[in-house]
With several copies, the nearest count.
Chain A
Amino acid sequence: MDDLRGIIEALIFASDHPLPAEKIGELLPEATGPQIKEALGQLVEQYRSRAGGLVLSHVAGGYQLRTKEELAPWIVRLKSGKPPSLSTAALETLAIIAYRQPIVKGDIERLRGVDVSAPLKGLLEKKLVRIMGRKDVPGRPIIYGTTRRFLEVFGLKDLSDLPSQRELKDLGI
């Protein structure tokens, strides 16, 4: 146990939550409470003195590595560029439209078994799905289809690139 400080640092770093000193003690029965306390103190001091981008803070009853508060403007730039992913509802709705287009909302709902207004609206806003016209039947329902952007996002040359039922079976999906 020659590198207690390194082990504690790695534990704090990898933890999903602020790590309490007692929890560290449980994870490291090889070390005594005072040894752990001392190592933690040294670590906090080390981070304070080394003038990097991180601090080791004592929050919510535990220890956690965080970016320095004054660096927030840069972190915001990083996070705002992060591409959002699609929700399960959106993905399922999109899948039905992709494979069954042109399709009306009622048919999508029959397949999903739930109302799809919200995911459909999201897909239209994201320009993955578009209105292709109306059906000349009572109620004149709107028909939906996928867009060029849909192909781009999923890396498809055209719709015929979508895997077929047989190919899906082949993979055991």
Chain B
Amino acid sequence: MSYEIKLEVFQGPLDLLLYLIKKNEIDIYDIPIALITRQYLEHLDKLRSLNLDLAGEYLLLAATLIHIKSKMLLPAEEEPETEEEDDPRQELVEQLLAYQTYKEAYLKIAQLPVLDKDVFKRGNFPQEEPGRKEEEKIEANLFDLIEAFQRILSSWDQAEIMEIDREKINLAEKMNEILSSLEVKDGLSLEELLEGAKTRRRLVYTFLALLELMKQRIIKAYQNVSFGPIRVYLSVA
């Protein structure tokens, strides 16, 4: 059967290209681009004729190959300097070499004995747990935290969910900071609060954070005399 190439056999366009280079016993540093491009496109056609969805990456590499081919067809300029010019294949070759190296690394890793498959550790039987110490260490993982958050979001009405974008987190950071300063000092002037904000961005965030805290009625701002300094206090001391 000539159509026995399955897309899932290849780990992407680079993998397919590497396969073609090996099959044709081609020197990776001197790829006959016309031949390889033809074979690559033929493979894509076969895959398509099998009604397999081609990932965009495969088509992108096809475009790259055609581009290189057209560049190589351009007549060479007369000046000898052009000899020094970059080979249009160079970038692709470097990419292929890097990929090949990691493919080998992957094969080496794939050969290592794997825990719970090739080797096993002591069975997980219950053991007595003595009491814990006071200021204990906590085993935590950022991914667990994110995952927990996503779990909640997915169970909640999407309309209710505010976008957690960069800005929102930055704002939370700033609000946290302001409240911390207000804990140690009873009342801060606007100048004091803005002191640390060296960049325009930080200045804006500090303002936004102050407004948000006021809106939420967590802090209050006072001005003793008109045009006097504005001071910020915790709403509930």
Contacts and interface: CB of A to CB of B under 8 A. Distances in A.
A binds B: yes
A120 to B, nearest CB: 11
A16 B123 CA distance: 4
Given A86-B140, A95-B145, A133 B152 contact: no
B102 to A, nearest CB: 5
Contacts of B227: none
Nearest to A129: B143
A111 B102 contact: yes
A89 B148 CA distance: 9
Interface stretch (B23-31, B35-43, B65-73, B93-101): B93-101
A136 B182 CA distance: 15
Contacts, number: 278
Interface residues of B, number: 85
B136 to A, nearest CB: 6
Contacts of B143: 124-125, 127, 130-131
A168 B101 contact: yes
B110 A133 contact: no
B10 to A, nearest CB: 10
A51 interface: no
B198 interface: no
Interface string B222-237: 0000000000001110
Interface residues of A, number: 74
A166 interface: yes
Interface stretch (B45-53, B189-197, B210-218): B210-218
A145 B177 CA distance: 10
Given A95-B105, A96-B149, A113-B57, A155 B112 contact: yes
A143 interface: yes
Interface in B14-34: 14-15
Most chain A beta-carbon contacts within 10 A, residue among B61, B123, B213, B234: B123
A114 B57 CA distance: 6
Interface of B: 11-15, 55, 57, 61, 95, 97-99, 101-106, 108-110, 112-125, 127-133, 136-152, 155-156, 163-166, 168-170, 172-173, 175-176, 179-180, 182-183, 213, 216-220, 234-236
30 contacts: A68-B119, A72-B118, A79-B127, A80-B131, A83-B137, A83-B139, A84-B117, A88-B148, A91-B110, A94-B106, A95-B109, A98-B145, A99-B169, A99-B172, A102-B179, A102-B216, A113-B14, A114-B55, A126-B136, A133-B234, A134-B234, A153-B114, A154-B141, A162-B169, A164-B108, A164-B166, A168-B101, A168-B150, A173-B98, A173-B101
Sort A-B residue pairs by CB-CB distance and give the 3 closest, nearest first: A136-B235, A134-B236, A114-B12
